[in-house]
Amino acid sequence: MAVRTLRVYLDGIPVGTLSQSSQGALSFGYDSDYVAQPDPTPLSLSMPLLADRHRDKAVRAYLEGLLPDSEGTRQRWAREYNVSPNNPFALLTHVGRDAAGAVQILSPECDSADANDRTGDIEWLSGPDLVVLAQDLATHQTDWDPGRFGGRWSLAGAQPKIALFRDPESGQFGIPRDATPTNVIVKPALAGYAGHHINEALCLRAASEAGLLAARTEVLELAETEVLILARYDRFHDGAEWRRVHQEDMCQALSVHPALKYQSDGGPGIGEVADLLNRLPVEDRAVNAERFFKAVAFNVLIGGTDAHAKNYSVVLIGSRAQVAPLYDVASAAPYDQRERLQSSMKIGDHWKMLDVNTSDWTKVGRRLGIPADQAVAWVDELREELPGAFERGIRALPESLQPEAKRMAERIVEHVAGKWKPNLTR
């Protein structure tokens, strides 16, 4: 089998070529014309612009990071497109047209205009269509099957979701059939975790109320189902059309396969992220250290047990890189637990969140270049601010969901205050 190639674009701009050898090895090279542009944006921090060719490890980690963690979804796509579920190159040949960040992956046979034409060719969904879509997603949580409402997009993560376009004026949802970017992510309620969509909306709103950057959310009630709507922070309207903003998660930036996203499995911890942030432009270092420290502190205080390296990202614009808004945040504190909650990243000397103390926070701060007194002050400020932030977050939800949100917030605030206890015996 000859070498196969795919063309890579960042928001319609040709960037380079992905290659897969007959043995399956992956590589990527930037176009010389792209590198010669003023202040070009790298595809990944793990693939610097100055290198002639990037080899399999970094390329594979990056591509795998664009795909779902859900094995069922990959298997469904593999059957649909007659490819291997373990071949990210083959999968993205079919679903890479609209992925995380600004990246678009197209076959070399596609006209370059296919990456940039935004003619408004959108298949609009009726109210009943959206209900059916949400029900299909909720029913097919292991393979994310949206029924007849699929598109050529890919989203990372383990939770079922779909990317759609939402008209900001009418509020109507649709599926782009041209290069128009999706601008929202729709998640159904999760089986096994009652009210998880409420939990995520509440926690992200509380983060925003507490002064942290966080993805904007909304919970929609559709007939007998509910969905979480997240506005994509990697999309914006420039006054004329919708644009993509490039971003990548910390695993991609560090050339770590997403299967190793948890530190306990050998993945990145605070030290590795700190080293990455310290290599970024000096003008971004202070804001990145503060954003990442506060994001970690927020997750520890609320009992956010899934805050692994894939749930922190950086936004890339030219040579600049800044820690992205919080996303995929939820607390485990409202659910039945047999033991105290464990952090996805070790905090100082401790894994158990309620064991984390002032000494641990000073160690985290020191690793990020933050003075000890400043690190402790930020944690204390968050601890003081969060009860009120959750109260305001409750009021921002639909009235019918507020009783459930209040019940959740009570347990979360107990964790913030250090008074939370498991409610099940071993």
As a whole number of Å, the end-to-end CA separation of the chain is 56
- Residue ranges of domains in the chain, CATH in brackets: 4-65+100-115 (no CATH), 122-231 (3.30.200), 247-416 (1.10.1070)
| pTM score | 0.94
- CA pair distance 283, 84, nearest whole angstrom: 43
**Are 232 and 166 within 8 A, CB to CB?**
no
Average pLDDT over residues 316-343: 95
Greater pLDDT, 24 or 147: 24
Q: Look up residue 182 and give its two tokens.
A: 């999706």
Long-range contact set of residues 210-214: C-beta below 8 Å, sequence gap at least 24:
210/298, 210/382, 210/385, 210/386, 210/389, 211/385, 212/291, 212/294, 212/295, 212/298, 212/326, 213/291, 213/324, 213/325, 213/326, 214/325, 214/326, 214/327, 214/329
Collapsing DSSP to helix, strand or coil, 248 comes out as: strand
> Which residues on adjacent β-strands are paired with residue 216?
none
User: DSSP state, 214?
Assistant: B
Residue-wise pLDDT for 259-306, tens only, equals: 999 999 999 999 999 999 999 999 999 999 999 999 999 999 999 999
Amino acid (1-letter code) at residue 73: T
In residues, how long is the chain?
426
Q: Which carries the bigger pLDDT value, residue 372 or residue 188?
A: 372
- Give yes or no for a contact between 393 and 404, defined as CB atoms under 8 angstroms apart: no
Distance CA 250, CA 156 (A): 13
Q: Is the pLDDT of residue 327 over 70?
A: yes
Written as one letter, the residue type at 175 is: I
Query: Mean of the pLDDT values across residues 119-133?
Result: 86
Q: What confidence score (pLDDT) does residue 413 get?
A: 98
Using only C-alpha atoms, the chain has a radius of gyration, in whole angstroms, of 21
For 308-342, give the DSSP string. Answer: -GGG-EEEEETTEEEEPPB-S---STTS--SS--E
**pLDDT at 61 exceeding the cut of 80:** yes
Tens of pLDDT, residue by residue over 370-401, are 999 999 999 999 999 999 999 999 999 999 99
Q: Which two tokens stand for residue 330?
A: 């939820």
Q: How far apart are CA 237 and CA 26, in angstroms?
A: 34
